[in-house]
Amino acid sequence: MPAVREVLGELETELARVEAQAAPTWQALVEPIERMTDRLALTWGVVGHLMSVKNSEELRRAYESVQPNVVRFSIRLAQSRAIYEGLQALRAGGAFRELDAAQQRIVDLLLRDAELAGVGLQGEKRERFNAIQTERAELRTQFSNHVLDATKAFAVTLREPEEVEGLPPSLLELAAQAARGAGESQATARAGPWRITLDAPSFRPFMEHARRRDLREQLYRAFFTRACAGALDNTPLIARILRLRRDEALLLGYKTYAGLSLASKMARDVPAVVRLLEELRGACLAAARRELEELGELAGAHGAPEADDLQHWDVPFWAERLREERYAYRDEDLRPYFPLPGVLDGLFALARRLFAVKIVPADGEAPVWHEDVRFFRVHDDKEVEIAAFYLDPYSRPAEKRGGAWMDEYVGRSRLCAAPGRSVRLPVAYLVCNQTPPVGNKPSLMNFGEVETLFHEFGHTLQHLLTTVDYGLASGIRNVEWDAVELASQFMENWCYDHDTLIGLSAHVETGEPLPEQLFRKIRAARNHRAGSRMLRQLYLSFLDLELHHRFSANGSDNISEIQEQVARRNTVLPPLAEDRFLCSFEHIFAGGYAAGYYSYKWAEVLSADAFAAFEEGELDDEQALAAIGRRFRETILALGGSRHPMEVFRAFRGREPTTAALLRHTGLAT
């Protein structure tokens, strides 16, 4: 609290000084903005990071006490009329033509962001707008805290062997370890008791393997009704958040919040987004229907009573049985081949192979927030350090929010370089929630966890390998939201590349690499239920878009109606009447994906097309691979927000993207 307040006081003084001068030059306006936003981002960013990975009641109280002050200063800076008019004068004057292309884009983006921050509002409208920003920030924090608390509040302790029939050894070990942590000191993987939670490494394998249908139903209902009742109920928060967003959009002259959101994205407007989503929906809907029918047929072939009444809690179980039957391997068979240390070695070898960077362990050279956190430095091919990052790999449901993400600690910046240095190097956080080590074994990753690590590493590379020296456009900064998933989803493709996957695998006991037969099965299974997976993403994308494009003032009933309408067109197994998934949908209510969840599919089109460039160059031709990798690094990974993402994509690919590669990769091409 004292640190944040001290920083804010100094920034208020600096802002007043800049406003008093406000000469229409880069040095007088843009550079002070970078210094001020960087100083605040560094201080407040660390606090926000700890809220996600080291949450506690004490930290929450401190965070909530100063958050309004941070929001007020951010609004004050964004709405500074003196700075805005100075930027307008800079944009209109001859000095603008002397700036390079990246500087010109930064000026344009600062003007746009000021307008979206309400710089043009006056009187009561400005007061209302600012009040909305403060309340929205508070609601985001409440929403996220409720989800975290609701997730860790639920657990079921199983004591009978028949209750855990079908569960893989890795989950039994994890569940016994969780039971010991909850006070069952004698718990063992063989004899129990076993504690199952809603945390991903526990919930997902339980839903895929537990033979007890009633227990799967219990877990499913608990998961999809998180944070929807009692003191942790997010239902009123959702209605309030949507109203505030709608009101904010109207104040700024937009008809809906979706229109406001898209004003700063790569997609031009809502119809452009809908066209893409509808094209993908047309490609996957029939496949998703067939895939659901297949699960019912399989359940019937095994004499399961749910064959004629397949429910949501049956789908993961029978989908896994179908994959085992069709491709003759279990996901659990893969875990021993993917201990985290070996996966990291293989991932870093790929980065060196493609992008000519060397990643070296630097544990102990930087302070960490948990003993499991690791620190790495990144060197170029001349052994010069160019970046660094933290890795926080394991699930900690008591203090760490779910999911996986990458965020920045600091960005590359010439202006913010330390004395005697030409540039400040970027540093990132790479955070996952994978299965933690059990006993004396390292973390043994399932294939989905390997893909997630590759995904987040792609984000990390885009932040770390930037060559832009302007802090307002380096790394991931000012990259349009619907393009920011390009690098991450691109990296997932390498999980299916032969040399990459074989190279990072090493059996935890024998050290043997993944057998060729298993690799072929993994690749054959890549498109297992591809239609269903895509339709799920489209359902969430359409739902997000509809909530922010058609929401009225009718409250939660209206929200339910919107969800039902979207589900009718975009699901093959309609949600339960009591489904309250929206109450834990942090992406759009506590994160940055409001009216932007479509970004995953939008960027997946870009990433698939980008990977196709490597396929066209022959993946086993090392010289060609290195050349394409260098071009990818010099464009997609290097240019950050210094150029429009379509311009960046064209610089890499030589043309605009098409959906052809994505539909081919997913097996949905007609």
Catalytic residue list: 456
Angstrom CA distances, 339 to 438, 441, 449, 507, 514, stand at: 12, 9, 11, 8, 12
Burial (Cβ within 10 Å: 0-12, 13-18, ≥19) of residue 190: exposed
C-alpha 367 chain-centroid distance: 25
- Asked if residue 32 has a cis previous peptide bond (ω within 30° of 0), the answer is no
Question: How far is the C-alpha of 434 from the C-alpha of 429, rounded, in Å?
Answer: 15
Give the H/E segment covering residue 409: strand 405-410
The phi, psi pair for 251, rounded to 5°, reads: -60, -35
In this structure, what token pair is assigned to residue 106?
Answer: 């930064």
| Ramachandran sector of residue 155 (left: φ over 0; alpha: ψ -120 to 50; beta: rest) | beta
**Dihedral angle over CA of 270, 271, 274, 279, nearest 10:** -150
Burial (Cβ within 10 Å: 0-12, 13-18, ≥19) of residue 388: buried
- Beta-carbon count within 10 A of 122 CB: 9
Q: Are strands 358-361 and 374-379 parallel, antiparallel or unpaired?
A: antiparallel
| Beta carbons within 8 Å of 636's beta carbon, 6+ residues apart | 462, 486, 487, 490, 610, 648, 649, 652
- Which residue, 154, 160, 163, is CA-closest to 203? 154
